[in-house]
Structure 1
Amino acid sequence: MNLNKIPLDKEIILNTTEEVIRRFGPDKANITDVAKSLKVSHAAIYRYFNGKTALWNAVTERWLTKMNAALEDILKEDNPADIKLFHLLDEFAESKRRSAIHDPEMFANYMKLAHSSVEVIKKSIEEGINRIEKIIVQGISEGIFFTESPHQAARSVYLSTGVFINPNSFEDPNRKQNIRSVINLLIRGLKNPN
C-alpha cells in the first residue's frame, strides 16, 4: 500500500480544481491539469464528475455558497426588515467586488459561466431572490413593507441591484454612494402603501 497516495473524493477534486483555476485562469485550466495535480488519470475524475462542465459548475456552485455565507447570516440578524434588507443588498454588491479583487480567477470563472447562462448561475439568482423575499415577507408581517406580491417585489429588487455586481461598476468612485442611494430608494418604495 502506498501511504503517500491521497484518497480521492469530490471535495479533494473540487479543492484541486480551484487551485488549478487560480493558477492557470478559467480559460486555460482544464481537466488534464486537475488530473496531473492529483496524480490520477482523467478516468478517476470522471467517476465523480461527468466532464469539465460538470466539474467547473460544481466548483462555481461551491464558491458561490462560500461567498454567500455572509448573506445567510444576515437573514438571521435580529433587526427589522428594512435594516436587514439594507445589510443584505449592501453585502450582495460588496461581496462580488471583494471576490473580484481578492480571488480574480474564481470571479472570472463565475463571470464566464454567467455569460453562458449555466444552471448554477440561475440557481444562485433564484437563491438571491428568495433571500430578499424572506426579508420582504418579514417586513410585511412587521407592518414596514407593503406589496401584494413579495416574490415579484424581490425579483425587482434583485434586478435593480444586479448592476452593482457587474465588474464595470467596481472602479466607479461613486459606487458606494450609488449602491446606498439605490437601496434606500428601493426600501422607501417597499414602505409606500400606495
Structure 2
Amino acid sequence: MKTINRTLILETAERLIEQQGMRKTSLSQVAKELGVSHAALYKYFADKEELWTSLAFGWLNKELEAVFQFDPQPYDSKVKLLHDWLWTLTSSKKNAYDANQKMFKLYTTYIDDNPIVLAEHLHELTEKISELLQHPERTDINAILEAFAVFSAPSFAHSWDSHLQDRFENVWNLLVPGITEKLEK
C-alpha cells in the first residue's frame, strides 16, 4: 500500500475539489487518486466533514495570514490599529476573491453553511482583535465585526468593486466616534 499523510490527502482532495467541486468529490475518489483504500483515509480524518473543514480552514488561514500575523508594534493608537486591521481583513478577503472566485466560493460557502465552522472562524477573528486591542469586551468586538461584515463576509463579495476602500472609509468615519469612545476609555 502507498504511504500517505495528512498533507498529501489534503493536497489531493483540494485538487479534486478544484476540478469538480465539493459536492461531487468523495472520500472514495480521494482514496482512489492516492492509490489507497477508502478506509486508509480514516486514520487521518474521522469523516468527509473533518477533511472539508481542514481544507476550508487551511485555505482561509493562508488567505488571511496578514490578518492573523498583524503586528501591533508600530501603533500607539488602538483606533488606528483597529482601522488598519479591519482594512487588512477586508483587502485579504477581496484579494482571495479576485485571485480565484471559484475556490473562494467553494470554501466560503462551505464555512457559511456550517454554523459550527463559521462560529469557529468568527471566534478566531474576535480573539485576534481582542488580543491586538487588549480589549476583553466581546460585545464591543462583535459589534465592530458586524458593522464591517459587508466588507468581509463572503455573501457580499459581489459588491467588492473598485470603490470598496472608499465605502470602507465612509463607514469607518461614521462609526469612529463610537469606536474611539469604547477603545480609548
TM-score interval, normalised by the smaller of the two chains? 0.7 to 0.9
Say whether 1:8 aligns with 2:4: yes
Name the aligned partner's letter for residue 160 of structure 1: A
Q: 1:183 aligns with which of 172, 177, 183?
A: 172
**Deviations 1:105-139 (Å, cap 9, x if unpaired)?**
3312222223323422211101111222233336x
Show the 5 A alignment for 1:1-194. Answer: 5=2, 7-80=3-76, 81-137=78-134, 150-165=137-152, 166-171=156-161, 173-192=162-181
Name which of structure 1's ranges 74-83 and 16-25 shifts more when overlaid on structure 2. 74-83
* Alpha carbons 1:74, 1:87 under 8 Å: kept: no
* Alpha carbons 2:112, 2:118 under 8 Å: kept: no
Gaps of 5+ in 2: none
Distance 2:60 2:45 in 1: 19
Deviation, structure 1 residue 72: 2.1
Distance 1:77 1:31, change over 3 A: farther
* Alpha carbons 1:16, 1:34 under 8 Å: kept: yes
List structure 1 segments (4+ residues) > 6 angstroms apart after TM superposition: none
Paired residues in the alignment total 179
Name the aligned partner's letter for residue 159 of structure 2: S
Distance 1:100 1:27, change over 3 A: farther
TM-score (norm 1): 0.80
Aligned-residue sequence identity (percent) comes to: 25
**Deviations 1:130-161 (Å, cap 9, x if unpaired)?**
222233336xxxxxxxxxx7321111001111
Distance 2:70 2:116 in 1: 25
* Alpha carbons 1:90, 1:180 under 8 Å: kept: no
Distance 1:37 1:118 in 2: 30
Distance 1:102 1:36, change over 3 A: farther
Distance 1:24 1:85 in 2: 39
Gaps of 5+ in 1: 139-148
Deviation, structure 1 residue 36: 2.5
* Alpha carbons 1:132, 1:158 under 8 Å: kept: no
TM-score (norm 2): 0.83
